[in-house]
Structure 1
């Protein structure tokens, strides 16, 4: 056999081995036990099916050491205010998401305006019954939490649903009483608020 024939034989041999290596391997499933009744996801790891299931996130917080009694009092006051307004922020999130879904399914502009007005009336009703009694500090926290939950500032929500002039007017009134509808939420800057929310049980 000449040199050229050896090269061809070598290539054919390598190619044959490659084809053999690429042949699919039948997956091997673990043996079922008598009490194995829960269906879970699995991953094929070189022919061996490995079962797995996603666990809920677990947050671990160390016991906080206070620098002074005044600092602890301030944190407890912040916790009270956050827990006071958090339900309103969650309501705004659910209501705004519902409004977006309703508008996306409503092609007529006239009907969309009716949906916006209905949502506006519900929020005004809640304001007249409950939110109007919030302190300035609680109102400031609420605007931050709305940005946290909805992903948009209160100013942006008003601007989208009622127009730029309404948002500008609301902002002027808010600034007079010490609020800012453009307040945003920063988990790092507002880490005490974030810690309170994560340990409060709102998302369990």
Structure 2
């Protein structure tokens, strides 16, 4: 039995050596280099011919939009201004909420978790008192949608998860009075203009 195993092992070794010899025996045609060809690049063996290549960065091309009227162009410019105004707040909310989730997952101590939530709530309120309270109703509506876009959760859901259902209900009631809806969801198909503005803005480069 051991004798047969030895024979099989020898066959495998000889076969592998033969295959390696065949590969090494194939002549590869290298490109002709000029005196200024000093940059090392990658190469691919294509049927015996070595083809140099360089990986290029992705280039995104956007079509030039034609507006039907000056009023439509003005409306789009106003929308772009509003999106660019509130997008940093949505990205901040995303980073801060992700940090809060990591902090809550790091401990099972309810007291420590409440401390994390309170600290997050304080930071959000401080930012609200400094900057967000100056937003227009339209900008606030866009912000609630962008928070859903970035986090996959509506503002209402976030408040409900961190502060409870009663607080979320109260926040929603106040928001509705001033024209906001914390339950607003983001639909890329319905918000194609906003999506186009975001993807071409450079926020994710």
TM range (shorter): 0.7 to 0.9
Alignment-derived partner of residue 86 in structure 1: 87
Residues 1-204 of structure 1 mapped to structure 2, 5 A cutoff: 35-36=39-40, 57-204=58-205
Measured after TM superposition, the shift of residue 201 of structure 1 is: 1.1
Q: Distance in 1 between matches of 2:156 and 2:108?
A: 25
How many residue pairs get aligned? The number is 178
SS of the equivalent of 2:107 reads coil
Query: Which runs of 4 or more aligned residues in structure 1 lie more than 2 Å from their structure 2 counterparts after TM superposition?
Result: 22-28, 33-36, 50-59
Deviation per CA, 1:122-141: give whole Å up to 9, x if none. 00000000000100000000
Q: Distance in 1 between matches of 2:69 and 2:117?
A: 48
- Cα RMSD after superposing both structures: 3.2
Measured after TM superposition, the shift of residue 52 of structure 1 is: 9.4
Q: Distance in 1 between matches of 2:61 and 2:182?
A: 33
TM-score (norm 2): 0.75
SS of the equivalent of 1:115 reads helix
Measured after TM superposition, the shift of residue 59 of structure 1 is: 2.7
Judging changes above 3 Å, is the alpha-carbon distance between structure 1 residues 62 and 127 closer, same or farther for their aligned structure 2 residues? same
Q: Distance in 2 between matches of 1:104 and 1:55?
A: 40
Structure 1, unpaired ranges of 5+: 1-18, 41-49
Q: Distance in 1 between matches of 2:169 and 2:55?
A: 46
Structure 2, unpaired ranges of 5+: 1-11, 31-36, 43-50
Q: Distance in 2 between matches of 1:51 and 1:107?
A: 56
Judging changes above 3 Å, is the alpha-carbon distance between structure 1 residues 165 and 63 closer, same or farther for their aligned structure 2 residues? same
Measured after TM superposition, the shift of residue 115 of structure 1 is: 0.1
